[in-house]
Structure 1
Amino acid sequence: MTLKNTADRWGPVSQLLHWLIVALILLLAVVGLVMVELPKSPRYFWVYDLHKSAGLTAFALVAIRLLWRWYAGAPRPVPGTPRWQERVAGITHWLLYVLTIAVPLSGWLFDSVSGLRPLRWFGLFKVPKLAAPSQPLQPVMRDWHEWLFWVLVALVAAHAAAALYHHLFQHDATLTRMLPARRRAPSPNSPASEIR
């Protein structure tokens, strides 16, 4: 079994990175929407630090995924896919990459210009600030972070809906090639089935 992507499937490394990033985006979305309602307490700061640490982790995983895609290539479009769908899918994938980098980067910049206490990534090490504290930039970066997040949510929803449409209505391999391959049971005539 190869770790790299093949002509017709995403390999296990790409699959693992894809689903880890999906899980982190869901976690970040839920925590991000809930934390703004929390009262200022020790739990408030703990939740904010969790959100920031998870965001930086997503940022790093997307960077790794892009490097892996450059190294391992990408599968060809599913046979029979119309050219316009190939183009839309390609644009959507690259917009997802851009946004999954831009959202945590804008959050990191927002944290930096806010002049808050230094973030320790999951309590392990201090994360450097990207910019000096700036009162005028603080609301701008907050708004950018929020708007980019909502654009990402819309794009992720469209991406998931398209994958489900292909799976449920087109009955093609668009979704299944991003899932682990199932092992096939040996056929009755195969040599393995004759060994008793």
Structure 2
Amino acid sequence: MSAAMPLDPSPRRYRNVERWGPVSQAFHWLIVIGIVVMAIVGLTMTGMRTSPDKVQLYALHKSIGLTILALVALRVVWRLFAGAPPRIETIPTWQHRIATLAHFGLYVLLFAVPISGWVMNSASGFPLWWFGLLRVPAIAGKDHDLHELSEDVHELLFWALIALALVHASAAIYHHLFQRDATLERMLPRGWLRVTEDSRDV
């Protein structure tokens, strides 16, 4: 009779360790889509005259922001549970460190932007609804000065997020086109991009 296989004491991790798994990919691209839509709606509504359409766009903008906040929180939880694929060895250490800082900055901004908007809405005294289905509690009392401050902070954080996201996307494209590594490929469904044989799932 053969000996029983020992139990693996390590936490659950990706089996396809050379790429991000489908759940992580889904979170990533849903958040990207949310940011793009939120930006388009936000920039459109600020240039509109006061009207019912503008009110509806504001409500949509807030709902998308809350959705992004929830998705980012879930992604962090999933990242802690599932882990991440190993770093690509061909990437220089200094680039890896910059990428780590950029990812950390993106996470901070992805939390800070919707939370600052939540504070702004709470300080205005207006009720906050998620797509008209769920009323979200206020996280600050009605306060004109806080509203003005949080509005400025929200706008500043938004542009910082857009700038860092563009740098992040440009770096991924640069790695794909010029360094010819799997940085971009492994955040896409298998087969969408082909770089090298070493970038395939294991």
Q: Aligned-pair RMSD on alpha carbons?
A: 1.6
Query: Counterpart amino acid of 1:156?
Result: A
Query: Matches of 1:42 and 1:36 in 2, distance apart?
Result: 14
* CA offsets 1:94-131 (integer angstroms, 9 cap, x no match): 11111001000000000000112x12210101111111
**Paired residue for 2:174?**
165
Aligned partners of 2:13 and 2:81 also within 8 Å: no
Any stretches of 5+ residues in structure 1 without a counterpart?
184-196
Aligned length: 181
SS, match of residue 136 in structure 1: helix
- Deviation, structure 1 residue 3: 9.2
**Paired residue for 2:145?**
136
Identity %: 52
For normalisation by structure 2, the TM-score amounts to: 0.86
Query: Matches of 2:56 and 2:14 in 1, distance apart?
Result: 38
Structure 1's 77 and 33: CA in aligned 2 closer, same or farther, altered over 3 A?
same
Q: Give runs of ≥4 in structure 1 deviating > 6 Å.
A: none
Query: Counterpart amino acid of 1:54?
Result: I
For normalisation by structure 1, the TM-score amounts to: 0.89
Any stretches of 5+ residues in structure 2 without a counterpart?
1-11, 193-202
Query: Matches of 2:56 and 2:15 in 1, distance apart?
Result: 39
Query: Counterpart amino acid of 2:124?
Result: S
Aligned partners of 2:13 and 2:83 also within 8 Å: no
- Deviation, structure 1 residue 7: 2.6
Could you tell which deviates more after superposition, 73-82 or 16-25?
A: 73-82
